């Protein structure tokens, strides 16, 4: 009993046909819509690798049923910016070389994007707290914080 | 004729003989290499022999250079560093070099990517190949230009004479170099470097921050189906029965695969595979072969010892221990998991009896052997192609996921993607083994050590470097014996003590499949060594850096390193424990040092910690690191690695331990196996000692080795309590303060 779910994805209309409306959004984005930004890390909402922004909020797509996003605005790392027109966060992550393996970086950037939308000039402590539920195993934390601080200087 | 002789050579040297259908694979390999598809040279002639320049390098008709590296980038930046090394030595622009990594059909076997050896060994092989090629190009260029060899130089991909020049591409473009790698080919003078030694930005980062990078988890092949493995209820439980009636109702269900105790379900979609795995009802036998975790160290101590290896012997420690002031301590280090953020993933395809496996394995050449062994097929019928996955810090689950995928693909005759779940990764990756360490010393009247004895209890190390494939074990197929890596390393100490004996007791068994996890053994052994030397210094009432300096003796680089550490940390010498603050928060600093494996990187650290007396909570505020790994290829890349070493190991030291019941691992997610994150991690200040004229040594691991002792010694400085058991949980800190 397939069902079609429509939403706005990175500024364009998108629709997916799913057998199971309880399927997490992550699989719709990665497997049906071919995106690479949101990443599978735990499927439990514990690590943040799958983070996307839904109506401006940072959300864990691995535990968000696809049926709940009908009609909503979804932004992924792909939609944030691309080579030639990088978002200030993406540019700042390059400038600070704030990546090791980079598997968590989607979540770091999308979490930071939602934070900066509400608080354009966070302190270092606020950034550390805001990212407290985003896990990085390579130990890139200091650079990630600096990158967000750098971006915050340019984001209006 | 030439190809025939090359093939004979390959067979003679035991290397992989090329027997694949090459056209299709070349296209695949280009896709796997990443977004910028390098123009590959003709594959039919591609040698992987490590003594042939063509094994490592190809210069295309367009002048582009392709480097074939058996060492792979695990997220450490090694690909960028290899690009720098090759571009520098060949005198070509950085942008004209592309690196292909870990494809067993194309890249020489340079050994697994482990042990902080990628630059030190792998990179230096590539540097030597590039130097050999450059020297030959100089000769060929001089001939072509009709000028004496002394009048040409190599610059920007051209051989340049006074009034003329010729491009490399016009000398060899698209053809083989056909040169034996000359181990004596002269290397460039580091004083002339323009690419090596610079903080070149990493080549992968732009794609990684724009979601264009293809990780292993993103890789697809046409017709691919998705599988999930259903793991046994206990590590060695037997599969009694399977009822897959509910699983078959999942839309897109393809198959249930059972081989012995190996059980997997396959579906057309990833979500279908997940649901089918949840729906399948499997009945498992009871198995309770794990030790009681609360008595883990008694278990380790009572495990049968199969061999003793004396790793360092100076003088007569047994006799000397009868004299002077006795100091002794026992340390232990918990079982750790790798904790890669992305669980392991692999894709496998079987066509005409040949297996291709795309994998994030750190050891594709070894994996070929292991898969061939598992399936009892010739090694030539297996090709493994590296695609970068989530960071791995040693042999984690990547190889096992690869074996899962191969096993399933072979059974169902379709290309298969296997994605491990979080519980698979935490529960089934091989583990850093539990390590127990005993120390004894005798101090003379001045407090200096007369004798030093150390003993470690570690799993056995058979001759082959392999961790067995879990799929092979479960399916009852041939598998290697477990091997945890050279975990006896770094027990020998960098100190001149007149009587020393360091002994490794190798044990007949260990609770989990043992593996290497960042700084395997060196971490545990250095924790013991550097904690115990601090205990000796404290017993002597000596400043711990002054004490170490006396023991380092004439090792100039070691002394320089400690001088730089003193400066970067603004260390204040003290003759006894610093005054401790009276409030609830005690503040302290500790130092730790190592000369890695006694033969390479020198690194020292100072940790600043706060200890909350009422709760036992430890907060590491700052780390200062002085680091000498010889010639630095990329200073910022090196800093990134050192920071990562510190962050990861502060987490391992303070909070991490695998928990288990009698049958299985119970720490199977990030709640039950927490790691530290932003609010709890320290600032790091690093002083890099660059020695451009020295060999480049490894940096992926050495800093990790010194982190736990620096923290333990700082906690002692703050509270007078010795933490001798990793992790330093609040309960252990409270207990240690009580008995201090």
Question: pTM score, two decimals?
Answer: 0.93
**pLDDT value, residue B45:** 60
**Tokens at B206, concatenated:** 């732009």
Q: Which residue of B75, B678, B681, B700 to mutate against A (max A Cβ within 10 Å)?
A: B678
Domain tally, chain A: 2
B699 contact residues in A (CB cutoff 8 A): none
B35–chain A Cβ distance below 8 A for any pair: no
The answer to whether residues A53 and A104 belong to one domain is no
- Put simply, the answer to whether B205 touches A97 (Cβ < 8 Å) is yes
Examine the pLDDT at B17 and tell me if it is beyond 90: no
Confidence of residue B142 (pLDDT cuts 50, 70, 90): very high
SS3 sequence of B627-662: EECECCCCHHHHHHHHHHHHHHHHHHHHCCCCCECC
Confidence of residue B2 (pLDDT cuts 50, 70, 90): very low
A131-145 mean pLDDT: 98
- Put simply, the answer to whether B210 touches A78 (Cβ < 8 Å) is yes
> Nearest-CA neighbor of B654 among B737, B728, B589?
B728
**Distance between CA atoms of A39 and A31, rounded to whole angstroms?**
11
CB A56 within 8 A of CB A117: yes
CA distances, B360 to each of A38, B16, B103, B218, B385 (Å): 19, 20, 11, 12, 8
**pLDDT value, residue B462:** 59
The answer to whether residues A72 and A85 belong to one domain is no
- Put simply, the answer to whether B341 touches A20 (Cβ < 8 Å) is no
Examine the pLDDT at A154 and tell me if it is beyond 60: no
The answer to whether residues A74 and A89 belong to one domain is no
A133–chain B Cβ distance below 8 A for any pair: yes
CA distance B47 to chain A (A): 30
A93 contact residues in B (CB cutoff 8 A): 205, 209
- Token pair 């650079």 in the structure block, residue: A143
**Distance between CA atoms of B66 and B59, rounded to whole angstroms?**
6
A9 contact residues in B (CB cutoff 8 A): none
What percent of chain B stands above pLDDT 90?
A: 85
Q: Which residue of A137, A143, A145, A147 to mutate against B (max B Cβ within 10 Å)?
A: A137
B89-104 mean pLDDT: 97
Q: Which residue of B74, B75, B210 to mutate against A (max A Cβ within 10 Å)?
A: B210
Mean pLDDT of chain B: 92
Choosing from A62, A79, A96, the residue where a domain stops is A79
Which residues, 6+ apart, have CB-to-CB distance to A57 below 8 Å?
A: A114
Confidence of residue B40 (pLDDT cuts 50, 70, 90): very low
| Structural domain of A26 | 3-79
B676-688 mean pLDDT: 98
**pLDDT value, residue B465:** 60
**pLDDT value, residue B19:** 32
Examine the pLDDT at B8 and tell me if it is beyond 80: no
The answer to whether residues A88 and A51 belong to one domain is no
**pLDDT value, residue B35:** 39
**pLDDT value, residue B115:** 86
- Residue with the bigger pLDDT between B1 and A79: it is A79
CB B42 within 8 A of CB B130: no
In B, minimum Cα distance to A50 occurs at B342
B191-218 mean pLDDT: 98
For helices A105-118 and A141-152, angle between their N-to-C axes, nearest 10 degrees: 30
Confidence of residue B581 (pLDDT cuts 50, 70, 90): low
Confidence of residue B335 (pLDDT cuts 50, 70, 90): very high
B111-130 mean pLDDT: 91
DSSP-assigned letters across all residues of B416-466 = EEEE--HHHHHHHS-BBPPEEEEEEEEE-TTS-EEEEEEEEEEE---SS--
- Give A105's Cβ-side CA count (13 Å radius): 36
B303-310 mean pLDDT: 95
Examine the pLDDT at B39 and tell me if it is beyond 80: no
The least confident of B163-177, B219-233, B482-496 is B482-496
The least confident of A48-52, A121-125, B467-471, B648-652 is B467-471
- Put simply, the answer to whether B677 touches A131 (Cβ < 8 Å) is yes
The least confident of B7-11, B47-51, B573-577 is B7-11
Burial category of B415 from C-beta neighbours within 10 Å (exposed 0-12, middle 13-18, buried 19 and up): buried
- Give B294's Cβ-side CA count (13 Å radius): 0
The least confident of B485-494, B502-511, B718-727 is B485-494
Q: Look up residue A28 and give its DSSP letter.
A: I
CB B514 within 8 A of CB B506: no
Q: Which helix (H) or strand (E) holds B245?
A: helix B245-248
The answer to whether residues A132 and A145 belong to one domain is yes
B272–chain A Cβ distance below 8 A for any pair: yes
**pLDDT value, residue B383:** 97
Q: Look up residue B498 and give its DSSP letter.
A: S
**pLDDT value, residue B468:** 84
**Distance between CA atoms of B25 and B674, rounded to whole angstroms?**
42
**pLDDT value, residue A46:** 98
**pLDDT value, residue A156:** 40
Examine the pLDDT at B541 and tell me if it is beyond 70: yes
Cα R_g (chain A), whole angstroms: 15
A127–chain B Cβ distance below 8 A for any pair: yes
B156-171 mean pLDDT: 97
A62 contact residues in B (CB cutoff 8 A): none
A139 contact residues in B (CB cutoff 8 A): 643-648, 681
Q: Look up residue B318 and give its DSSP letter.
A: H
- Put simply, the answer to whether B205 touches A93 (Cβ < 8 Å) is yes
**Distance between CA atoms of B378 and B53, rounded to whole angstroms?**
27
What are the φ/ψ torsions at residue B593 (nearest 5 degrees)?
Answer: -150, 150
- Residue with the bigger pLDDT between B456 and B19: it is B456
A91-103 mean pLDDT: 98
Q: Looking at chain A from residue 69 to 108, which residues have their Cβ under 8 Å from any Cβ of chain B?
A: 76-78, 81-83, 86, 90, 93-94, 97, 99-106
B675–chain A Cβ distance below 8 A for any pair: yes
- For A40-57, the pLDDT digits (tens) are 999 999 999 999 999 999
**pLDDT value, residue B114:** 87
A55: left (phi over 0), alpha (psi -120 to 50) or beta: left
**Partners of B327 in the β-ladder:** B441
The answer to whether residues A72 and A86 belong to one domain is no
- Put simply, the answer to whether A40 touches B669 (Cβ < 8 Å) is no
The answer to whether residues A133 and A71 belong to one domain is no
- Put simply, the answer to whether A102 touches B270 (Cβ < 8 Å) is no
B409-426 mean pLDDT: 98
**pLDDT value, residue B479:** 79
Q: ipTM for the complex?
A: 0.98
Q: Look up residue B200 and give its DSSP letter.
A: P
CB B586 within 8 A of CB B617: no
A105-119 mean pLDDT: 97
- For A12-35, the pLDDT digits (tens) are 999 999 999 999 999 999 999 999
B640–chain A Cβ distance below 8 A for any pair: yes
Examine the pLDDT at B23 and tell me if it is beyond 70: no
Examine the pLDDT at B140 and tell me if it is beyond 60: yes
Helices in B296-377 by DSSP H: which ranges? 296-302, 317-320, 364-375
Q: Which residue of A34, A37, A139, A145 to mutate against B (max B Cβ within 10 Å)?
A: A139
B293-315 mean pLDDT: 96
The answer to whether residues A51 and A91 belong to one domain is no
CA distance A84 to chain B (A): 11
CA angle (B275, B277, B281) in 5-degree steps: 115
CB B525 within 8 A of CB B704: no
Choosing from A79, A110, A128, the residue where a domain stops is A79
The answer to whether residues A19 and A70 belong to one domain is yes
B141-159 mean pLDDT: 97
**pLDDT value, residue B486:** 82
Confidence of residue B476 (pLDDT cuts 50, 70, 90): confident
B352-371 mean pLDDT: 95
- For B199-211, the pLDDT digits (tens) are 999 999 999 999 9
> Nearest-CA neighbor of B129 among B68, B78, B170, B43?
B68
- Put simply, the answer to whether A137 touches B681 (Cβ < 8 Å) is no
**Distance between CA atoms of A152 and B8, rounded to whole angstroms?**
62
B307-321 mean pLDDT: 96
B179-194 mean pLDDT: 97
Examine the pLDDT at B192 and tell me if it is beyond 90: yes
**pLDDT value, residue A150:** 97
The answer to whether residues A47 and A115 belong to one domain is no
The answer to whether residues A96 and A72 belong to one domain is no
Partner residue facing B678 (CB), from A27, A37, A141: A141
What's A109's domain CATH number?
Answer: 1.10.150.120
Domains (range + CATH), chain B: 2-208 (3.30.365.10), 217-285+338-428 (3.30.365.10), 520-739 (3.30.365.10)
Examine the pLDDT at B44 and tell me if it is beyond 70: no
**pLDDT value, residue B481:** 66
B224–chain A Cβ distance below 8 A for any pair: no
Choosing from A51, A79, A107, the residue where a domain stops is A79
What's A70's domain CATH number?
Answer: 3.10.20.30
- Residue with the bigger pLDDT between B722 and B114: it is B722
Q: Look up residue A29 and give its DSSP letter.
A: I
**pLDDT value, residue B25:** 39
Q: Look up residue B524 and give its DSSP letter.
A: H
Strands B65-69 and B158-160: unpaired
- For B247-273, the pLDDT digits (tens) are 999 999 999 999 999 999 999 999 999
The answer to whether residues A75 and A140 belong to one domain is no
**pLDDT value, residue B466:** 72
Confidence of residue B492 (pLDDT cuts 50, 70, 90): very high
CA angle (B424, A31, A78) in 5-degree steps: 105
């Amino acid at each position: 009993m397939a069902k079609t779910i429509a939403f706005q994805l990175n500024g364009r209309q998108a629709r997916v046909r799913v057998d199971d409306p309880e399927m997490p959004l992550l699989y719709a984005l990665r497997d049906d819509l071919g995106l690479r930004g949101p990443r599978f890390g735990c499927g439990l909402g514990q690590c943040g690798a799958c983070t996307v922004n839904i109506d401006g909020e940072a959300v864990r797509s691995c535990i968000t049923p696809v049926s709940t996003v009908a009609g909503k605005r979804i932004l992924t790392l792909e939609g944030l910016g691309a080579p030639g027109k990088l978002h200030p966060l993406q540019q700042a992550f390059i400038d600070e070389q704030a990546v090791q393996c980079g598997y968590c970086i989607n979540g770091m950037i999308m979490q930071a994007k939602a934070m900066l939308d509400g608080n354009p000039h966070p302190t270092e402590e606020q950034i550390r707290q805001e990212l407290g539920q985003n896990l990085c195993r390579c130990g890139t934390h200091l650079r990630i914080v600096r990158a967000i601080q750098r971006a915050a200087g340019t984001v209006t | 004729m030439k190809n025939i002789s090359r093939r004979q050579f390959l067979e003679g040297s035991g290397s992989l003989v090329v027997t694949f259908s090459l056209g299709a694979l070349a296209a695949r390999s280009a896709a796997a290499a990443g977004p910028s598809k390098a123009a590959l040279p003709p594959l039919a002639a591609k040698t992987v022999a490590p003594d042939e320049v063509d094994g490592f390098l190809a210069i295309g008709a367009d002048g582009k250079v392709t480097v074939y590296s058996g060492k792979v980038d695990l997220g450490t930046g090694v690909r960028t560093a290899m690009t720098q090394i090759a571009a520098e030595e060949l005198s070509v622009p950085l942008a004209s070099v592309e690196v292909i990594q870990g494809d067993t059909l194309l890249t020489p076997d340079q050994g697994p990517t482990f042990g902080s050896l990628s630059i030190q060994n792998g990179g230096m092989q590539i540097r030597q190949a590039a130097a050999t090629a450059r020297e030959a190009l100089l000769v060929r260029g001089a001939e072509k230009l009709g000028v004496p060899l002394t009048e040409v130089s190599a610059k920007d991909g051209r051989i340049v004479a006074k009034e003329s020049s010729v491009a490399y591409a016009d000398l060899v473009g698209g053809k083989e170099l056909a040169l034996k790698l000359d181990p004596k080919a002269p290397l460039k003078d580091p004083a002339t470097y323009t690419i090596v030694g610079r903080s070149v930005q990493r080549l992968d980062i732009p794609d990684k921050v724009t979601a264009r990078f293809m990780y292993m988890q993103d890789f697809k092949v046409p017709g691919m189906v998705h599988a999930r493995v259903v793991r046994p209820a206990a590590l060695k439980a037997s599969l009694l029965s399977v009822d897959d009636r509910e699983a078959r109702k999942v839309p897109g269900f393809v198959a249930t695969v059972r081989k012995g105790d190996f059980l997997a379900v396959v579906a057309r979609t990833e979500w279908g595979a997940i649901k089918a795995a949840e729906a399948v009802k499997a009945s498992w036998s009871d198995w309770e072969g794990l030790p009681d975790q609360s008595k883990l160290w008694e278990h380790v101590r009572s495990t049968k010892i199969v061999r003793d290896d004396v790793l360092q012997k100076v003088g007569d420690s047994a006799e000397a221990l009868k004299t002077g002031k006795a100091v002794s301590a026992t340390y232990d280090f918990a079982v750790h998991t790798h904790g890669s953020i992305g669980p392991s993933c692999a894709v496998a395809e079987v066509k005409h009896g040949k297996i291709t496996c795309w994998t994030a394995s750190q050891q594709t050449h070894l994996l070929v052997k292991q898969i061939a062994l598992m399936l009892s097929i010739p090694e030539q019928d297996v090709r493994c192609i590296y695609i970068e996955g989530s960071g791995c810090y040693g042999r984690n689950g990547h190889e096992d996921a690869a074996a899962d995928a191969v096993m399933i693909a072979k059974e169902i005759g379709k290309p298969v993607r296997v994605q491990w779940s979080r519980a698979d990764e935490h529960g089934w990756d091989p583990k850093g083994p539990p390590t127990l360490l005993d120390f004894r010393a005798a101090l003379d009247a001045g407090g200096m050590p007369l004798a030093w004895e150390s003993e470690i209890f570690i799993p056995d190390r058979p001759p082959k470097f392999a961790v067995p494939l879990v799929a092979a074990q479960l399916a009852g197929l041939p598998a290697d014996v477990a091997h945890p890596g050279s975990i006896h390393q770094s027990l020998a100490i960098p100190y001149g003590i007149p009587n020393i004996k360091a002994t490794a007791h190798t044990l007949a068994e260990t609770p989990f499949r043992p593996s290497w996890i960042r700084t395997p053994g060196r971490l545990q052994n250095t924790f013991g060594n550097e904690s115990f030397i601090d205990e000796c210094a404290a017993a002597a009432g000596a400043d711990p850096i002054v004490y170490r300096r006396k023991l380092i003796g004439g090792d100039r680089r070691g002394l320089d390193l400690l001088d730089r550490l003193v400066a970067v940390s603004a260390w204040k010498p003290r003759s006894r424990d610093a005054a401790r603050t009276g409030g609830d928060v005690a503040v302290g600093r500790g130092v730790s040092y190592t000369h890695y494996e006694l033969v390479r990187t020198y690194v020292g650290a100072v940790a600043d910690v706060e200890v909350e007396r009422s709760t036992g909570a430890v907060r590491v505020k700052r780390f200062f690191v002085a680091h000498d790994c010889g010639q630095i290829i990329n200073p910022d890349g090196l800093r990134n690695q050192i920071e990562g070493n510190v962050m990861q190991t502060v987490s391992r030291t303070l909070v991490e331990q695998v928990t288990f019941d009698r049958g299985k691992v119970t720490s199977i997610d990030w709640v039950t196996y927490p790691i530290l994150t932003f609010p709890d991690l320290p600032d790091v200040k690093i002083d890099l000692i660059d020695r451009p004229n020295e060999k480049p040594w490894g940096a992926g691991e050495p800093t990790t080795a010194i982190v736990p002792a620096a923290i333990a010694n700082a906690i002692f400085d703050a509270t007078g309590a010795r933490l001798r058991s990793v992790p330093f949980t609040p309960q252990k800190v409270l207990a240690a303060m009580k008995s201090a």
